[in-house]
């Protein structure tokens, strides 16, 4: 759930390529429109929640991109402090999509840039909605929580209002864009969790007349029944924590929102959301992506809950402690996904970028599975959108990814990151 370690390189790259990527604006189309919500919607610091729409008159299809960027259940993280902090603790500025910052005209992912210079995807001709992330609750919370564990004299009042933000955005989109033809939800990191968890809200509000698709990148909701133990289900301590501080179990919270409409949902197992969606919408396609060597999402999942990780004596011991939990969690997650005919997954081992976290940021280079002759995740994306074969791909070879060639764009990002840190 990275808090955008690539933000500074993105500023430089966006400035360098501004004339290439800036869309041509005409009559309100092909430019970012800022929408400010009222009511229960809010950023974590209490400022208004804003999202952005890039319309086209040439399509009735819509793609919604959920931003990633960490999570928080303590004061420092909610203030954006530390490696495991939440992004945008000070809210979303009105010029968020045009400032030379972490989003930088949508360059962070090909799904949010209509004229992406690094990677073409078919949804770039659709209406594009970018849903920023500023609540520290992976777009799912329904509670205001006061954190004072780090600085008791200046408590942080955190508005975990992620679910209200998504509901408000969905209602605005239906009222102003109408009923779409095709609809796709996607998100990376925290946005991968959010797009999965709130898929039903968007799906039921927009009611697309054509295909509906989820492509969730590197935000796996792991199976973790409350009746189990942390030894059996390593994500259980995290799930128990966020249920409380994010208000997931409270009236109007995420768990209650599934209710009787999702009979396959087990309120005692947040990971059952995946299967509940697949069964509720059998005509839809659900695609999930993650790296087996993801050192970022695994850190958010376990580092604050297990002493052997928090107190690891060296980086190697730290990684080993993380992956001793991450690998069985991933295996159980994919086994659970495999039970549903309309669910696909693409799980390569490693990419030498961003701690092997997120397949769909910047571009898709380095996301292939060589042993299956899959060059990149693009074929998985296209198959999901075009209703091609339901593929379930997990890489076995742990060395082949070391030879994958990253794109010039990602290599430039890596160089800029080294120079700027």
In a domain, 274, yes or no: yes
265-293 exposure pattern, b = at least 16 Cβ within 10 A, e = fewer: bbbebbbbbbbbbbebbeebbbbbbbbbb
In a domain, 182, yes or no: yes
The structure tokens 């949010």 sit at 112
Task: Write the DSSP symbol of residue 123.
Answer: G
In a domain, 107, yes or no: yes
Domain residues for the domain of 294 are 7-420
Task: Write the DSSP symbol of residue 3.
Answer: -
In a domain, 45, yes or no: yes
Count of domains observed in the chain: 1
CATH of the domain at 329: 3.40.50.1820
In a domain, 178, yes or no: yes
| pTM, two decimal places | 0.93
In a domain, 1, yes or no: no
pLDDT in tens, the chain (421 residues): 655 555 555 444 444 444 433 444 556 899 999 999 999 999 999 999 999 999 999 999 999 999 999 999 999 999 999 999 999 999 999 999 987 555 655 578 999 999 888 899 999 999 999 999 999 999 999 999 999 999 999 999 999 999 999 999 999 999 999 999 999 999 999 999 999 999 999 999 999 999 999 999 999 999 999 999 999 999 999 999 999 999 999 999 999 989 878 999 999 999 999 999 999 999 999 999 999 999 999 999 999 999 999 999 999 999 999 999 999 999 999 999 999 999 999 999 999 999 999 999 999 999 999 999 999 999 999 999 999 999 999 999 999 998 899 999 999 888 887 887 6
In a domain, 153, yes or no: yes
What distances in angstroms separate CA 327 from CA 16, 25, 297, one per listed residue? 39, 46, 12
What distances in angstroms separate CA 159 from CA 42, 278, 297, one per listed residue? 7, 30, 23
What distances in angstroms separate CA 321 from CA 176, 222, 245, 293, 318, one per listed residue? 49, 18, 26, 12, 5
In a domain, 317, yes or no: yes
């Amino acid at each position: 759930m990275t808090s955008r370690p690539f933000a500074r390189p993105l500023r430089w790259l966006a400035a360098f390529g501004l004339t290439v990527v800036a869309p041509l604006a005409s009559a309100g189309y092909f430019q970012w429109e800022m929408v400010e919500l009222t009511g229960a919607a809010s950023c974590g610091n209490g400022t208004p929640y804003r999202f952005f729409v890039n319309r086209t008159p040439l399509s009735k299809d819509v793609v919604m991109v959920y931003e990633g960027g960490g999570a928080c259940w303590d004061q420092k993280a909610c203030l954006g402090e530390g490696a495991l902090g939440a992004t945008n603790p000070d809210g979303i500025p009105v010029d968020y999509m045009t400032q030379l910052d972490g989003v930088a005209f949508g360059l962070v992912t090909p799904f949010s840039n209509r004229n992406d210079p690094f990677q073409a995807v078919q949804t770039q001709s659709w209406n594009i909605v970018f849903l920023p992330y500023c609540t520290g609750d992976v777009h799912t919370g329904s509670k205001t929580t006061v954190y004072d564990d780090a600085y008791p004299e200046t408590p942080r009042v955190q508005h975990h209002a992620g679910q209200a933000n998504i509901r408000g955005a969905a209602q605005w989109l239906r009222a102003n864009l109408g009923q779409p033809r095709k609809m796709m939800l996607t998100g990376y990191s925290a946005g991968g969790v959010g797009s999965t968890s709130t898929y039903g809200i968007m799906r039921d509000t927009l009611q697309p007349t054509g295909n509906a698709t989820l492509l969730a990148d590197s935000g796996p909701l792991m199976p973790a029944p409350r009746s189990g133990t942390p030894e059996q289900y390593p994500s259980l301590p995290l799930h128990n924590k966020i249920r409380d501080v994010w208000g997931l179990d409270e009236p109007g919270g995420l768990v209650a929102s599934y209710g009787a409409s999702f009979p396959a949902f087990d309120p005692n197992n947040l990971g059952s959301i995946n299967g509940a969606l697949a069964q509720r919408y059998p005509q839809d396609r659900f695609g999930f992506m993650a790296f087996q060597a993801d050192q970022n999402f695994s850190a958010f999942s376990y580092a604050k809950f297990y002493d052997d990780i928090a107190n690891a004596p060296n980086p190697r011991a730290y990684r080993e402690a993380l992956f001793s939990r991450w690998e069985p969690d991933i295996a159980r997650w994919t086994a659970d996904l495999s039970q549903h005919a309309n669910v696909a997954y693409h799980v390569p081992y490693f990419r030498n970028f961003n701690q092997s976290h997120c397949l769909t940021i910047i571009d898709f280079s380095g996301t292939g599975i060589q042993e299956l002759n899959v060059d990149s995740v693009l074929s998985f994306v296209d198959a999901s959108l075009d209703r091609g074969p339901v593929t379930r791909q997990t890489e076995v070879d742990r060395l082949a990814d070391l030879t994958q060639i990253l794109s010039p764009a990602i290599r430039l990002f890596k160089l800029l990151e080294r120079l700027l840190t």
